[in-house]
Amino acid sequence: MSETIETDVIVLGAGPVGENVADRTRAAGLDTVIVERELVGGECSYWACVPSKVLLRSAAALRDAKALPGAAEAVTGELDPQAVFARRDRFVGDWDDSGGADWLASIDARLLRGTGRFDGPKRVVVTDDAGAETLVVARHAVVVATGSEPVVPPIPGLAEVRPWGSREATGAHEVPARLAVVGGGVVAVEMATAYAGFGSEVTIIQRGTLLHGFEDFAGEAVAAGLEALGARVLLGKQVARASRDADGTVTLELDDGTRVEADEVLVATGRRPRTGDLGLETLGLEPGAKLDVDDSLAVPTASGGWLYAVGDVNGRAPLTHQGKYEARAVGDGIAARVRGDAPELGPWGADAATADHRAVPQVVFSSPEVAAVGLTESAARAAGFSVRAVEVPLTSAQGAQIHVDGADGRAKLVVDARDGLVLGATFVGDDVAELLHAATVAIVGQVSVRRLWHAVPAFPSVSEVWLRLLEALGRESARGADGGLTAAAS
């Protein structure tokens, strides 16, 4: 061991979540060492959220312009993928993390570059690229924020065709003429949308339906949207085997005998927590498994309350914004304990990640977009709520018709019939992302539909769809403690 460092808090992983932990612990004056083996900023900044959204944005803007008389006539050329890739390169800083490292330096967090591994409680050994080892010992806490890694299913021949993962799809500099996409989750539909927008001949192969876990109409609309972009959508089919010819063509044989040929194949079949090589066995925990946490983000099985896990690695809500929310809670909670104060850990307390269970917002930047928060109708019923659910077309708000010609889409509100509180909302349509936060505020703020009648959406904004949803619940929902819904619940 070349060196031993003592510090108040160790943060393992400098993705968006680890960075936010360090931000809070440093704000509280705690000495903080943050360990990163790749790029400060993590998956999200360089290979996930940011580049994927940049790849999607230009084609979406072009589609909108082409759907608007007056603007359409001004569009005289086609999308230029190379210009989009150049814009993406700018957003990811050409995969240079000096900006992130400078920011860590500016808050006086100590960045240790290398791979961190536990060597017993509160002890992490960091090995740098040259093999030099540093032992870091935490006085108070270790926060694991090592993210997740893609899973490639054991389909015969698949690994041998050298498939793309999300890194290759978000980092590409060329557009394959034909792209096959295996999977039907968020990565699959967003990347299928992006490459269809670039002019690739896209085939998406999914064993079930698209966007499982969202309201059914979301996946159905996205499947129709992909077909409208020229993609082939094969649902209820599995890839049985894969091979690549000498000329580079990949052939996927499906379980029903269908053959799909492509120049590249993107495997987007989910991710697992990155805990396989963290030395968890030295803590009596299982390597490779997600780190289960309580609402203070502590790993309860580790004695002494010094071990925390935030972001993708705990498997609660693997999204950047939700991980950053957990990071703020855990950083402040650790600081409170060190000061000798009791952290606020009750539901909706400052140091508790309550929203992970009740109000996780997510936007899928497909065409149409999908924006959802809270429970779907079926999840609410499964959880035992007495449910009232209503759906309206997005174009019932005139703002949606003005926004773009040929507008389409749906909005759905799921309400607890016993007290009129909002349990969940889903919006599908062009540019619906910005509708979502109002629904998140309604759920977290425990605003009843009775009170929502007084939240008047501006005319002619797309937000008027909220009024249409209330009208679908009925004017009687403006009265009574339960919003008048009990009688109408099923």
Ligand X SMILES: Cc1cc2nc3c(=O)[nH]c(=O)nc-3n(C[C@H](O)[C@H](O)[C@H](O)COP(=O)(O)OP(=O)(O)OC[C@H]3O[C@@H](n4cnc5c(N)ncnc54)[C@H](O)[C@@H]3O)c2cc1C
Return residues touching ligand X (CB under 6 A): 12-18, 35-38, 42-44, 48-49, 52-53, 115-116, 145-148, 166, 170, 187, 274, 278, 311-313, 318-321, 323
Look up residue 81 and give its two tokens: 């993928």
CB 198, min distance to ligand NAD, A: 18
* Comparison of 148 and 269: residue with beta carbon closer to ligand X: 148
Number of other CB atoms surrounding residue 17 within 10 Å: 30
CB 134, min distance to ligand X, A: 12
* Comparison of 35 and 400: residue with beta carbon closer to ligand X: 35
Look up residue 254 and give its two tokens: 């499906």
CB 200, min distance to ligand NAD, A: 18
Residue nearest to ligand NAD (CB): 185
* Comparison of 262 and 319: residue with beta carbon closer to ligand NAD: 319
* Residues engaged in binding ligand NAD (CB under 6 A): 153, 182-188, 190, 206-208, 212, 238, 268-271, 318-319, 362-365
CB 390, min distance to ligand X, A: 28
115 binds, among ligand NAD, ligand X, none (CB under 5 to 8 A by kind): ligand X
270 binds, among ligand X, ligand NAD, none (CB under 5 to 8 A by kind): ligand NAD
CB 236, min distance to ligand X, A: 24
Q: Annotated binding site for FAD: which residue ranges?
A: 53, 116, 146-148, 312
CB 77, min distance to ligand X, A: 28
* Comparison of 166 and 203: residue with beta carbon closer to ligand X: 166
42 binds, among ligand X, ligand NAD, none (CB under 5 to 8 A by kind): ligand X
Q: Annotated binding site for NAD(+): which residue ranges?
A: 183-190, 270
CB 59, min distance to ligand NAD, A: 16
184 binds, among ligand X, ligand NAD, none (CB under 5 to 8 A by kind): ligand NAD
Number of other CB atoms surrounding residue 281 within 10 Å: 10
* Comparison of 81 and 361: residue with beta carbon closer to ligand X: 361
Q: Annotated binding site: which residue ranges?
A: 53, 116, 146-148, 183-190, 270, 312
* Comparison of 39 and 222: residue with beta carbon closer to ligand NAD: 222
43 binds, among ligand X, ligand NAD, none (CB under 5 to 8 A by kind): ligand X
465 binds, among ligand X, ligand NAD, none (CB under 5 to 8 A by kind): none
